[in-house]
Structure 1
Amino acid sequence: MQQTAVDGATRRARIAISVIFAVQGGVSGSFATAIPWIREHLQLRHGWLGLALVFLTLGASAAMPLAARFAHRYGPRRALAGVSLLCCALLALPALAPSLVWLCPILFVYGCGLGLMDVSMNAHGVQIEERYGRSVMSGLHGMWSVGTLLGGAGGALVAHAGGDGRLHLGLVAPAMALTALIACRWTLDVPEQSTAATSGDASADGDAHAPAEAPPRFALPSRAALTVGLMGFFAVFAEGASMDWSGIYLRDVTDADRGLAASAFTAFACTMAVARLLGDAVVRRLGAVRTVRASGLLAAAGAALVVVARSPAPAIAGFALIGIGVAVVVPLCFAAAGRIPSASPGQEIAGVATLAYASGLAAPAAVGWIAEVTSLSVSFGMITVLLFGLVVGAGVLRPEPRTSVPSGAESVRKSGGADEEAALRGDVREETAAGPGSGGTGSGTASGTASASETS
């Protein structure tokens, strides 16, 4: 990815979308800390609460494919503002549910809002990264993690003071909605461009990035989206399992007290936030493939440390390493999804996001089922194996070399000289075929160097 000069509008858009990521993180963190209040208020057993939370993920997965269609119909900025307002407004509803029968559909609708906002803001992030010509997605997801920590901290203070969950979420929802709507004013409003692969002549004629087609109402993810999404599946599986089971692992396996057990999640969340904020610099230095392979090894080492830990300290260190290791994988998956040759890049992002959310749905239940039959240590042994999948499959995140139009051809095309343009394309081909030794620049050489920098 070639770094380019960035104008003021793009810089403002990056700040604005960073705020949007933080807002969604704050919404998620606020809801997470309100779950205990909802459970006690409705007097739900753990199993019924788990069933209700499944509806949240189902709603997100069902709505994600619609985000690209909204952006195509209403424009990226209006679509992002609309789904952000919807997501924030729906935050207030779960605490108002009078019973489990109402809680399940409410969480489904709330999940729809989360899923739509998730895909929309990541699509904006991919556009900004393309304009910068360097990695910025990790930092955006770092802002999401910061928002989660801040939202969780505020919710924890409310819970410690014995506050009412309805009042808590009822106040947070409009504040988050207002913040998101203000930030959306400075986001980009450029329709997404098709990234469908074209022939060399088509690229020279300027057709490589035609306006994206209207996405279908429903479409299965492409094979490329599935391969990229599989990397996200591995990372989110480890993330979900660590978030939901780290405290229980310390309690049941290492005999830690309740306060010390809670520190496992804190260590995981904090290291993930810091790693994401610093991740773009690492990606620029090592490239996406090397970064994910190193991250996979680090996360697998952390999971293995959790498996063998029989005292709190090494277990907490293991969860912290998992947080560092999986931090940048999902942002890089979204960035790779935006580069998949497609008539609708937003649809590819939705496909990757849906697969990642499916992993978040499966992880807590799978860990619990395996632990029920064997032990929690065996469950995290399975996670260790999955994390090695990041090492093996990281190559699918390698950026594809892009064919650029020579500046001379561009100027001739603008002047309308078709014959001169054809002659110029012939000259460029002759220079490329002659190679560097004959004085030609050779765009193929540059592409080969870019590809080589990504190999490990």
Structure 2
Amino acid sequence: MEMLRRARVATSVIFAVHGAVTGTFAARVPWIADHVGTGAGGLGVALLMPGIGALLAMPLSARLAHRYDLRSLTRVLILCWCAALLLPALPTSIVVLCLVLVAYGAAAGVADVAMNAQAVVIEERYGRSVMSSFHGFWSVGGLAGSAVAALAARAGLDARIHFLVAAVALAVITLVASAWLLPHRPEPEVDAPPAFALPSRAVLPIGLVALCAVFAEGAGLDWSAVYVRDLLGDTASTAALTVSVFSVSMALARFAGDRVIHRLGPVPTVRLAGAAASAGALIVVLGGRTVPVILGFGLLGVGIAVVVPLVFATAGRIGDHPGRSLAGVAGIAYGSGLIAPGIIGGIAHLSSLTASFALVTALTVAMGLGAGVLRPAPAPAVQQE
């Protein structure tokens, strides 16, 4: 049991490292844009590239998870993800930046699948929900990475130096923590998955629930500040506060999520989460004033927080090895995160941001209605001798 507890702590640290790399990069995007010399249009194209890289690489994750021990694979891929942080600060042209961001996104995607597969193995050994807390640590890592990056930016530190120091520090943490991860390999008789594994028919409905949740998450992270600043006419600091409220609400809900799932079960939890997220999105649409809208974004964050961890946990129990189904669900989720900013922006351009968040409301309703696909499969009957 002590080994299992250590593995849980180590996996929590790995999730935090993954989130810290993401938060570090996101907070220094303005420096990268200035370094490359691109405007909003070029930057928008460049920021599509990580999602494309992840989508291209994730179908390869199932074969990697089948071939290599999961502990070693997670260690290597998280170290690659830390090293990938060095890439975005190097280019001086938009074309090269786009190319390196594809590689950056590919590293993010395969590392994401490996660490979630490790989390599924630990959850199976515990025999109860622990996945939500892992994703809570990812959120904490993202907040910590972005906070340190904000301090570095305020001090005028060159992002190349900042990224190097952060990558080395996070790599050292990964090496120490990964020694406690659980070893895991599929049984010898389990057939290897295809080299490029697309989502199976069993995984697709679960992936659609993930699509709704990740779309709403992307809308909240990328557009909440714009909503408060441009639509409601409030200050930039209040707009930034809205993003913080949304992010912190998600993190806190994820740490509480495992208890709720244990008490209610996956399906009622997602139905309740869908109701909360829909209420929050509806408040955003109808609020009209800053305070209700900020509270609405907070409630939206609470509602979608536990859904993605539950989706990964459910997918990881399908089939003979957690990496196979996780790769399919992760691809759908990343795809949703990739298209969400563009769809929100497109609807806002044609109509308004209010109409965009009406779509978010509809998707969170669909998320709650689709909760039944997360129902655990019945345990196999025990044959009598």
Please give the TM-score of this superposition, normalised by the length of structure 2.
Answer: 0.98
Shift of 1:30: 0.3
2:326 maps to: 349
d(CA) in 1 for partners of 2:228 and 2:295? 12
Indicate the SS of the match to 2:28.
Answer: helix
Q: Does 1:362 align with 2:339?
A: yes
Q: Does 1:248 align with 2:242?
A: no
Amino acid of the structure 2 residue aligned with 1:183 = A
For the pair shown, the structure with the greater C-alpha radius of gyration is: 1
Once the two structures are superposed, the pairs formed by residues 300-339 of structure 1 within 5 Å of their partners are 300-339=278-317
Amino acid of the structure 1 residue aligned with 2:71 = R
Shift of 1:124: 0.5
Deviations 1:196-220 (A, max 9, x none): xxxxxxxxxxxxxx75322210132
Percentage identity across paired residues of the two chains: 51
2:374 maps to: 397
Deviations 1:118-161 (A, max 9, x none): 00000000010001000000000000000001001001111122
1:73 maps to: 67
Q: Does 1:191 align with 2:185?
A: yes
d(CA) in 2 for partners of 1:404 and 1:129? 22
1:33 maps to: 27
Deviations 1:87-119 (A, max 9, x none): 100101101111111101100001111001100
Say which is worse superposed, 229-238 or 168-177, in terms of deviation: 168-177
Indicate the SS of the match to 1:223.
Answer: coil
Check conservation: 1:250, 1:256, Cα contact below 8 A: yes
Say which is worse superposed, 150-159 or 217-226, in terms of deviation: 217-226
1:9 maps to: 3
Shift of 1:309: 2.2
In structure 1, stretches of 5+ residues that fail to align are 1-6, 194-209, 407-423, 426-456
d(CA) in 2 for partners of 1:396 and 1:379? 27
Q: Does 1:55 align with 2:86?
A: no
Shift of 1:405: 4.1
Indicate the SS of the match to 1:224.
Answer: coil
1:239 maps to: 217
Check conservation: 2:250, 2:301, Cα contact below 8 A: yes
d(CA) in 1 for partners of 2:146 and 2:189? 41
Q: Which runs of 4+ in 1 moved over 3 A?
A: none
Higher RCO structure, 1 or 2 (CA under 8 Å, sep 6+): 2
Match of 1:264 among 242, 262, 285: 242
Please give the TM-score of this superposition, normalised by the length of structure 1.
Answer: 0.83
1:149 maps to: 143
Check conservation: 1:67, 1:119, Cα contact below 8 A: yes
Check conservation: 1:213, 1:344, Cα contact below 8 A: no
Once the two structures are superposed, the pairs formed by residues 118-197 of structure 1 within 5 Å of their partners are 118-192=112-186
d(CA) in 2 for partners of 1:338 and 1:73? 17
Deviations 1:245-294 (A, max 9, x none): 01000011111101011111000000000000110000000100000000
Shift of 1:345: 3.3
Check conservation: 1:215, 1:344, Cα contact below 8 A: no
Amino acid of the structure 2 residue aligned with 1:241 = A
1:438 maps to: none
Shift of 1:192: 3.5
2:198 maps to: 220
Number of aligned positions between the proteins:
385
Indicate the SS of the match to 1:97.
Answer: coil
Indicate the SS of the match to 2:82.
Answer: helix
Match of 1:292 among 243, 267, 270: 270
Indicate the SS of the match to 2:184.
Answer: coil
Indicate the SS of the match to 1:172.
Answer: helix
In structure 2, stretches of 5+ residues that fail to align are none
Deviations 1:35-87 (A, max 9, x none): 01101222211111111111110111111122222222221111111111111
1:22 maps to: 16
Q: Does 1:44 align with 2:38?
A: yes
